[in-house]
Chains A and B, each alone.
Chain A
Amino acid sequence: MPQRIPVVEKILSANDRLATENQSRFDSSKVFAINMMASPGAGKTSLVEQTIKGLEGRLRVGMINGDIATSFDADRAQAAGATAIQINTGGDCHLDAVMVQSAISQLDLGVLDLVIIENVGNLVCPADFKLGTHISVLVASVPEGDDKPYKYPGMYRGVNAVVINKIDLLPYVPFRMDFFKKGIEVLNPGVTQFELSCRTGEGLSDWLAWLERQVKEFKAS
């Protein structure tokens, strides 16, 4: 006779456990870590570059970059002045806690204040895999369209901040900011939002100030 065994376990519990271990490593070195997610082309790497440059002399930044095949993005971060570790997922659509664990070992956490993990460009899969970062940031962009919160609710629900990039294109692209924000508000009430352009620099200072404050508060805690 078959017997029913109650399990009630989250399907990605093994990844979650490892993510907790990753976070402990960041914690013990007093390094603040963020998971930056977006669709391909939203401007993740541009925001990383601007962030590294903007925080130069204020915070020591390391970067872990997830990419399917190339190291273009890590190269850009390195050129901007950060220590950058490249993870090639070899086709995987997201980073997971195992990949991040091995990347952390290649970073000297003792000389860093902030680690930015740039996930694989994808609005679906990265949302399900915790990495062990303290916060998650979603980079949206105007040309993607204003319907993205409605199409990718899982992604918009799980993040601590939404950066709306490429606002310099607002005059040229049909993008209803109020419709976009209404979707975010339902999915993630009160989430921190920034409107900026990595190209013109507009709005960047608010983002940088906020991020610096997050790191300082974390270090003081």
Chain B
Amino acid sequence: MHELAVTESLLEIAIRHAQAQNAHRITDLYLVIGKWSSIVDDSVQFYWDIISDGTIAKGATLHFQRVPVVITCQDCGKEYQPASEEFACPHCGGTHAKVKSGDEFRLEAIDVEE
């Protein structure tokens, strides 16, 4: 839904880091996106192709690493991936959960050329 704002931010961060290294071209971006981050890859790619045009990141490839939601049960200590209709622990039925991963939303690295 808000992929344009996300993509603009992505471009700004990538160019800032590339310029800090005196790079003249960005070839690849590595994104880490948790499953609970509401971002549609295709939509980011769509905006990326438009807004990166004319910048040093034109034509760069976006790599999406999707991180699954993993919950640590605070009752039995086991880890599990929640089902869409049921969040409780499948091992013990506990509902004292700690979300271990799935919220990620960051640019991990970029590949650049001098």
Q: Which residues of A contact B (CB under 8 A)?
A: 1-15, 92-94, 96, 122, 124-125, 127-129, 147, 149-151, 153-154, 157, 182-183, 185-187, 189
Contacts and interface: CB of A to CB of B under 8 A. Distances in A.
Contacts of A129: 2, 5
A122 to B, nearest CB: 7
B36 A5 contact: no
A149 B114 CA distance: 47
A124 B111 CA distance: 31
A9 B12 CA distance: 11
Contacts of A10: 105-106
Given A5-B112, A15-B9, A183-B87, 7 more contacts: A3-B111, A4-B109, A11-B13, A128-B2, A129-B5, A149-B87, A189-B97
A59 B17 CA distance: 46
A108 B74 CA distance: 46
A182 to B, nearest CB: 6
A9 B106 contact: yes
B14 interface: yes
B23 interface: yes
A11 B36 CA distance: 15
Nearest to B31: A11
Interface of B: 1-2, 5-6, 9-10, 12-14, 17-18, 21, 23, 27-28, 31, 36-38, 69, 71, 82, 84-88, 95-97, 99, 103, 105-114
Given A154-B38, A186-B71, A12 B1 contact: no
Contact of B1 (A5, A124, A153): A124
6 contacts: A4-B111, A7-B107, A8-B109, A14-B13, A125-B2, A150-B87
B38 A186 contact: no
- Max chain A Cβ within 10 angstroms of own Cβ: one of B1, B2, B71, B85: B2
| Chain A interface, DSSP helix/strand/loop, else mixed | mixed
B2 A94 contact: yes
Given A182-B87, A187-B87, A2 B9 contact: no
Contacts of A124: 1, 38
A104 B111 CA distance: 40
A8 B17 CA distance: 10
B104 to A, nearest CB: 9
A125 B87 CA distance: 22
A94 B85 CA distance: 26
B36 A128 contact: no
B40 to A, nearest CB: 11
Contacts of A183: 87
A11 B6 CA distance: 7
A85 to B, nearest CB: 21
B109 A9 contact: no
Contact of B106 (A8, A14, A147): A8
